Amino acid sequence: MKKYVIGLVAVIIIVIILFFIGFNNNIFNKKEISDLYDFKYFSPLSQNDVYYADTMEFTNGIYYKIVTDYEEYSKCKETYNDIIDMDSKDFKNNFLVLTVTENTSTQNLGIESVEADESTLYIGLAKTNEKEVSDLDRGISIKIDRDLFRDNIDIFKTIENTNFMETYSDIRKIPKEYTLEEAIADNCFVNLGISSSNVNLMHDFLGKIENNQNAEIRIVFCGGINDNIIIYDIKYVNEDKKYYVCVDNSRVIDIDYDGNSSMNDTYNYYEFDILEKMDYIDDSISISDNISTSDNISTYTLRNSEIPEDILSFWYFD
C-alpha cells in the first residue's frame, strides 16, 4: 500500500510539472505572436563621426550590435539619434539589436523572422521592395523581449519559406565535418573546381525545369581559398515560377589581414525567378588557377527580376 501511495504521488508530481511546462510554453507562444519585438529603421550615418564598422560585429554581410543596458543604449542614441526609443525601464524586459547593411547584396532588407532555440537567437532579414524608407536608412533597430536573449546570435538573409527541400535532409543538420565522399553518397551534385561528380543529377535538374516540372538539387562545392566546402540547396517550383535557394557557408574560414581566422557566414536564403545559361564564366565564381575556360564548362546564373542586385552563379563540368 505504501509503495502504491508513493507511486501515485510521483505520478501526480510529474503531471503537475508537465502542466506548468506546457502552460509556460503556451504563454511564451502567445507572447511570441503578439509582443515579440518592435523595430524602426535608421540611418547609420552617425552624429559624432563614429563609423559603425568599428563598433559592430559582422556576419553574413550584415553589421550588428547587441545592447543590453540603458547606459550603452544612450551612447548608441547619441551616435544614431533615430533608432527606436527606449528608456531605462524598457531594459528590464527587453534588449536591443542594431543591424546595418552597406552593399548591394544586402540592400532592401526588412525583418522577416525573430526566433530562438536553446542556445541561439535567429534574426532573419528578407528582401523587400516595399520598405518605405530612404536609401540612407540601411539600419534596423530591433527591440526584443529579453526572454529571447541567448549567448549566440545568427543574423542572416532569409525568405518566407525556408523548408522547401523534399528529397534531401535539413541543410542545417549536415555535420560540419561533412566529406565529399558523403556528399556523393547522399546524391549531391559535387563540384570540385576542376571536375564534377554525379553530373546526371544536374542534367535531371535542368531537364525537369525545361519540361516545366518541379526540381531540386543539392550542390556541394569544394574549391577556392582553403578548399572550403559550400553547400547550395536549389528548389524550382513550377507553379510559382521561382527558384528557392539556401547557401550554407558555415564551413568557410575567413582569414583577415593579420592572419586571424574566423567562421562568419552561416545560412542565407534567396528567391529568384530567372535562370540563365551564360556564355562565359562569371567573375564571381572561384575557379582553380589552372582553369580559365573550357568547352565542357556550363555556367548558369540565377537572378531576381524585381531585386536585380541579387545574383547567384554556379557551373559544372559536363
Please, are residues 218 and 189 in contact by the beta-carbon 8 Å criterion? yes
- What single DSSP character describes residue 288? -
> In this model, does residue 34 exceed pLDDT 50?
no
Please, are residues 241 and 213 in contact by the beta-carbon 8 Å criterion? no
pLDDT at 182: 94
pLDDT at 287: 38
Residue 15 binned pLDDT confidence (cut-offs 50, 70, 90): very low
Please, are residues 253 and 262 in contact by the beta-carbon 8 Å criterion? yes
> In this model, does residue 187 exceed pLDDT 50?
yes
Cα dihedral across residues 160, 36, 110, 50: positive or negative: negative
Better pLDDT: 9 or 81 = 81
> In this model, does residue 315 exceed pLDDT 60?
yes
Give the Å distances, CA to CA, from 110 to 96, 121, 174, 251.
16, 17, 28, 26
Among residues 156, 155, 137, which one has the least CA distance to residue 40? 137
pLDDT at 161: 84
Distance from C-alpha of 200 to C-alpha of 220, rounded to nearest angstrom: 14
pLDDT at 130: 56
Element containing residue 268 per DSSP (H, E): strand 267-272
**C-alpha grid cell, residue 267:** 545560412
Residue 110 binned pLDDT confidence (cut-offs 50, 70, 90): confident
Please, are residues 298 and 277 in contact by the beta-carbon 8 Å criterion? yes
Better pLDDT: 151 or 283 = 151
Distance of CA 117 to the CA centre of its chain: 15
pLDDT at 35: 61
pTM across the whole model: 0.71
Better pLDDT: 24 or 220 = 220
Element containing residue 246 per DSSP (H, E): strand 242-248
Q: Give pLDDT tens digits for 122-166.
A: 999 987 755 554 555 689 999 999 999 999 999 998 888 888 999
**C-alpha grid cell, residue 263:** 567562421
The count of C-alpha atoms lying within 13 angstroms of the C-alpha of 239, restricted to the half-sphere facing its C-beta, is: 0
Distance from C-alpha of 32 to C-alpha of 198, rounded to nearest angstrom: 43
Q: Indicate the average pLDDT of the chain.
A: 80
Element containing residue 254 per DSSP (H, E): strand 254-255
Other C-beta atoms closer than 10 Å to the C-beta of 275 total 15
Strand ranges for 117-181 from DSSP E: 120-127, 139-145, 152-158
Burial level of 290, CB count in 10 A (0-12/13-18/19+)?
A: exposed
> In this model, does residue 20 exceed pLDDT 60?
no
Domain ranges of the chain: 35-158, 171-317
